[in-house]
Structure 1
Amino acid sequence: MRTNPSLSKKFLFVSRWGESLDIINTIKLEGHEVKMYIDDKPSKEIGYGFVQKVTQWEKHVDWADVIVFDYTGFGKIAGELRKNGKLVIGGTEYTDKLELDRNFGQSELKKHKIKVIPSEEFTSFNDAIQYIEKHPNTYVIKPCGETQELKQLLFVGSDDEGLDVIRVLRAYEKSWGDEFGNFQLQRRVKGVEVSIAAFFNGNEFIYPVNITFEHKKLFPKELGVSTGEMGTSMFWTKDSPIFEATLLKFQNTLAKHNFIGHIDINCIVNGNGIFPLEFTSRFGYPQIFIQRAGINEPIGELFYKLASKQKFKINVKKGFQVGAFIVVPPFPYEDKKTFNLFSKDAVVVFKKNGKEKEGVHPMHLKKVNDQWLITGNTGIAVLVTGTGITMKDAQKMMYNRISNVIINNGYYRTDIGDRWSEDSDKLWSWGLL
């Protein structure tokens, strides 16, 4: 879907880890000019051959029509650029804090009269263990600050007395010591985990909103280590009881802080209500790519309208969208030796010619002689998406596309979207769809 040449804009993407390559590449293919900067040193090769890379993004600010920050932590800079009259998609100091400071996020939820799950913050493993011994229950360990990026450290307990959480805390104390930083113990609530996401134009939310179901564990049926994400299923809707009970209550606050971008709130819902867990006040990964698969208009034009505070409705597909990561060793861990041995510069091969790359989104890749090669250091190769009027249709399209991709040592989950049949029944019965 190419853009009218007269509408062509210049986009500067400032990326933390190169996560937004697929969106950047798409905007380039739509006919816009694009430059990409990556902050993280081991990720610098990502995007080479796909898009123009720059080493100092600040030198290209005057060149850009739109500046996009793809991660939290850039809120202060984004705010200053907005004050100077630049069109910016990205966080603010307030929305950065919503995501990075779990306690602040919880206090803001309470301030907006949204009920939260009881939680306590700790800096000492011993204090946390003593707390569980005094208040036995089922808990979740949630690292805060920078440590929360290591998704495998999040631990969801299942023991009613909290004994499994105590054992994990003792193991973390031996392996991490004082470097672990502060963390939360949150009471575990059972139900359906669902995320509500929406774009915000500086004044109000842009409709429709997005309902997302994440699959976080490495193996099918939610087994194995927590990876942050292995795949996601979703749909768009013009109204949602969960959105109205959570994100919509932040509309005036986000407008006051001049937030322009994408925000998501992850919740557990059950027959007793809606319980928000945490904010993601930026693009979600792989959420944004699966959203793109369901958006019928050019993503560059959507971003420009958003950045320039226009009021509009997003043109989206009916039905469902799904996406699954294909990953390689050492994912979800970081191990340079293993990555270099098994995965670095491995080729992404397509069995059929023609439209073989349709629905296959480049992740941590570079392009050499028109070949897609794996780079970076985490082992996330591609995301593959599918769409359909029913969840089964979307799954079928996605897994057909996956069968056309050959990546040596690649692995992926075979059950993305399977939970929908049970989750949807529960959500209907609770009046939340």
Structure 2
Amino acid sequence: MKKNIVNKKNILFVSRYGETLDIAFAIQKEGHKVKMFIEDKGCKEIGTGFIPKVLDWKKHKDWADLFIFDYTGYGEICESLRKEGKLVIGGSVYTDNLELDRNFGQNELKRLGIKTLPFKEFTSFKEAIEYVTKNPDSYVIKPSGEIQELKQLLFVGSDDSGSDVIRVLKAYEKTWGDHFGAFQLQKKVKGVEISASAFFNGKKFLSPVNITFEHKKLFPGELGVSTGEMGSSMFWVKESPIFDATLLKFEKTLADKNFIGHIDLNCIVNGNGIFPLEFTSRFGYPQIMIQRAGLLEPLGVFFTKLAEGKNFHIAVKKGFQVGVFMVVPPFPFTDKKAFNLFSKDAVVIFKKELKEGVHPMHLKQINGEWLITGDTGIAVLVTGTGITMKDAQRNMYNKVQHIIINNCYYRTDIGDRWFEDFDKLWSWGWL
């Protein structure tokens, strides 16, 4: 019993939007002491009633045995804490730049001999329109920096002349003016969108690695506005040709740059090769919660070993994991009036007790009831696991049927991509 108490940690979460509530809550239930700081003003109420909250994380530095930073932009702080001898899960200045500066990320891929898609960076809509006019083709408009968090601004063109991209650029010029910042025009290529990711212990990548298929559009069948994410399907593998050809080549650089945490590289693959699109050099959302559904060891132990730089095999379930967001208005848009009218303080009701697979997102807890808060409309993530993708989907959607949230909507096809993508990936030799 005494040994058990000694192993319990004080874990401080420094969060941008409260996205790691589920992780912190799970670690707390394992017996560790947890505190969370949330930076964004509109998200301050998230987690209230679930876990202890703090107004200034720096005042709790001496209390914490382990720091977990859940977003990009904290790299310099993470490096400073590591120099002080602290255990830290989080980025570095280098990995922040990989994600936030698309031009830097693409150039790093080139430096390591990884094939990239042609792209050009702009800060002027007028120059971008002139470029597409002179070089007609299909392009993707990709904002850089903090503005890339507004996922609805990413536009994937479908016209080989680029006329649809020109129309969108003209609309952005009228609505954003000079406040848009830098953005890329990247040549569009057809294939399967897939991401390879792994946990890095400061020296090397841990095995197994994770392969994820994101479902970004609002409606089933990949229709509607890009939301960032409506759900994902995934599996763990000991070896991956996609990972070996991309992220694995960053192992020495990440060690040199003092990175400890999780990193993901989203790619398009086809019969001609792998084309990396963008880095996520932090936890992915909902990726980390779906990964949690597949982990076979306590999170507190897992993250402590990772931060200590230990080399270990990650114990995971066989088969597949899937997850779907259950959301309410105004998601995926920002509209405070609509949120207050339709969603604020709405209750998450369970028809029967669900012990596993329901992950609180932007919620608070009052007298044991889960209430929606924040300002985005993301209520819960529901996960499922199974030996086959069909089993995992069935497990997940059975849970969804036992949850009542007024005005809620969610996608009904998370995981369906796999059945077509599998054939393509297998025939191209990527599985």
Fold shared by both chains (TM-score > 0.5): yes
The 5 A counterparts of 1:46-57 are: 46-57=46-57
Structure-2 residue corresponding to 1:298: 298
Distance apart, 1:6 and its partner CA: 3.0
Tell me, in whole angstroms, the C-alpha distance in 1 between the residues paired with 2:290 and 2:6: 28
The alignment's TM-score, normalised by the length of structure 2, stands at 0.99
Amino acid in structure 1 at the alignment position of 2:362: H
Structure-2 residue corresponding to 1:136: 136
Q: Deviations over 1:234-253 (max 9, x none)?
A: 00000000000000000000
Distance apart, 1:182 and its partner CA: 1.1
Amino acid in structure 1 at the alignment position of 2:16: R
Tell me, in whole angstroms, the C-alpha distance in 1 between the residues paired with 2:300 and 2:314: 13
Distance apart, 1:142 and its partner CA: 0.3
Structure-1 residue corresponding to 2:273: 273
- The correspondence for 2:382, drawn from 381, 384, 407, is 384
- The correspondence for 1:406, drawn from 389, 404, 407, is 404
Q: Deviations over 1:203-229 (max 9, x none)?
A: 000110000000000000000000000
Structure 2: 5+ residue stretches without partners? none
Paired residue secondary structure (2:94): helix
Distance apart, 1:179 and its partner CA: 1.1
Paired residue secondary structure (1:152): helix
The 5 A counterparts of 1:26-37 are: 26-37=26-37
Amino acid in structure 2 at the alignment position of 1:378: T
Tell me, in whole angstroms, the C-alpha distance in 1 between the residues paired with 2:329 and 2:389: 30
Structure-2 residue corresponding to 1:345: 345
Q: Are residues 1:261 and 2:249 paired? A: no
Distance apart, 1:5 and its partner CA: 3.0
The 5 A counterparts of 1:141-220 are: 141-220=141-220
Amino acid in structure 2 at the alignment position of 1:74: Y
Structure-2 residue corresponding to 1:431: 429
Paired residue secondary structure (1:48): coil
Q: Deviations over 1:41-66 (max 9, x none)?
A: 11000000000000000011111110
Amino acid in structure 1 at the alignment position of 2:40: D
Tell me, in whole angstroms, the C-alpha distance in 1 between the residues paired with 2:174 and 2:114: 37
Distance apart, 1:357 and its partner CA: 4.2
Paired residue secondary structure (2:178): helix
Paired residue secondary structure (1:206): coil
Tell me, in whole angstroms, the C-alpha distance in 1 between the residues paired with 2:327 and 2:236: 27
Paired residue secondary structure (1:52): coil
Amino acid in structure 2 at the alignment position of 1:148: Q
Q: Deviations over 1:322-353 (max 9, x none)?
A: 00000000000000000000000000000013
- The correspondence for 2:393, drawn from 392, 395, 398, is 395
Q: Deviations over 1:71-95 (max 9, x none)?
A: 0000001000000000000000000
Runs of 4+ in structure 1 over 6 Å off? none
The alignment's TM-score, normalised by the length of structure 1, stands at 0.98
Paired residue secondary structure (1:321): strand
Structure-1 residue corresponding to 2:72: 72
Paired residue secondary structure (2:208): strand
Distance apart, 1:174 and its partner CA: 1.0
Tell me, in whole angstroms, the C-alpha distance in 2 between the residues paired with 1:91 and 1:11: 17
Tell me, in whole angstroms, the C-alpha distance in 2 between the residues paired with 1:190 and 1:299: 38
Paired residue secondary structure (2:276): strand
Amino acid in structure 2 at the alignment position of 1:88: V
Amino acid in structure 2 at the alignment position of 1:296: L
